[in-house]
Amino acid sequence: KWINNRNIPSFAQSFVRSGNSAAMTAPKRVGDTPFGQWLQKFAAEGGGSRETISSITVRAMEFEEGLEEHLIRGEGIGKGKKGVIGAHNMDEFYHTLKETGININDLIISKEQHPKFPGLYNIKYKIPALTYDKSGNLVSSGQFKVIKLPKTVYDPKVYLDQQIIQWGKEAMREGIDANRIKRGVVEGYSRNGMKFAGRLSDKGKIKIFYPVF
């Protein structure tokens, strides 16, 4: 809207007369020109509902299916050195580690609480390295892989799943509005100041997000 109220410089008014070459009066504002009228129509029809950032068209706050499942329960342990995929609910994270058959105390390296948000933790951990036995089954090799990136988890006794989901969506909107996006990763803050990171899909939708320190 602001551009429609901008004055056209006097020296340029002769170039934007409203179709009548004999007319002595020229439009004074951009909004009075044919282009300005088209621009207003374009905006009214939702032409500005998408934002293009780093060659990815971001659809206005669209989230991919499975985002909440990934955030809360996760997808088990990934191949290689990926560690636990998703499962930022602390109970679900611990449950995933217990499924390895190793005592969870032997897998947790450290647990750091957020200085501002009690119940939000960064956990450094390791997972058992697997090998094949004589029958071709995957079994623990007795060695461990230290996961490079700590897992940020929330205690569900302190924060409800739906609270984290709501704050995550707020943070994604804030991050997109602030153009805080790099290589498809959005960083933003919810209204209460909790920081989240999220990833954009090739279709411009938010496919995952999670709290971070």
Within-domain flag for 165: yes
Domain contains 134: yes
- Closest to 146 in 3D by CA, of 122, 160, 126, 131: 126
Mean pLDDT of the chain: 82
Question: Which amino acid is located at 80 in the chain?
Answer: G
If asked whether residues 136 and 174 sit together in one domain, one would say: no
Task: For residue 53, tell me if it sits in a domain.
Answer: no
Range of the domain at 7: 2-48
Q: Is residue 109 part of a domain?
A: yes
Is 109 found in the same domain as 74? yes
Examine residue 200 and state whether it is found in any structural domain, yes or no: yes
Residue 67 identity (one-letter amino acid): L
Q: Which of 121, 154, 187 is the last residue of a domain?
A: 154
- Do 143 and 166 share a domain, yes or no? no
- In angstroms, the CA 150 to CA 64 distance is 25
How many Cβ atoms are within 10 Å of 31's Cβ, its own excluded? 17
Q: Are 72 and 12 part of one and the same domain?
A: no
Same domain, 204 and 146: no
SS3 31: helix
Q: Is 151 exposed, middle or buried (0-12, 13-18, 19+ CB in 10 A)?
A: buried
The percent helix, strand, coil of the chain (3-state, each to 5) is 30, 30, 40
144 shares a domain with 80:
yes
Give the three-class secondary structure for 133: coil
Residues 187 and 201 in one domain: yes
Q: Is residue 142 located within the same domain as residue 95?
A: yes
Task: Output the tens digit of pLDDT for each of the chain's 213 residues.
Answer: 544 555 555 544 444 444 444 444 555 565 666 656 655 554 554 444 455 544 455 556 799 999 999 999 999 998 766 899 999 999 999 999 999 889 999 999 999 999 999 999 999 999 988 777 788 776 777 789 999 999 999 999 999 999 999 999 999 999 999 999 999 999 999 999 999 999 999 999 999 999 999
Running DSSP on this structure, what letter comes out for residue 66? T
Residue 128 lies in a domain: yes
Residues 90 and 114 in one domain: yes
Residue 211 gets the label, from left (phi > 0), alpha (psi -120 to 50) or beta, of beta
Same domain? 78 vs 139: yes
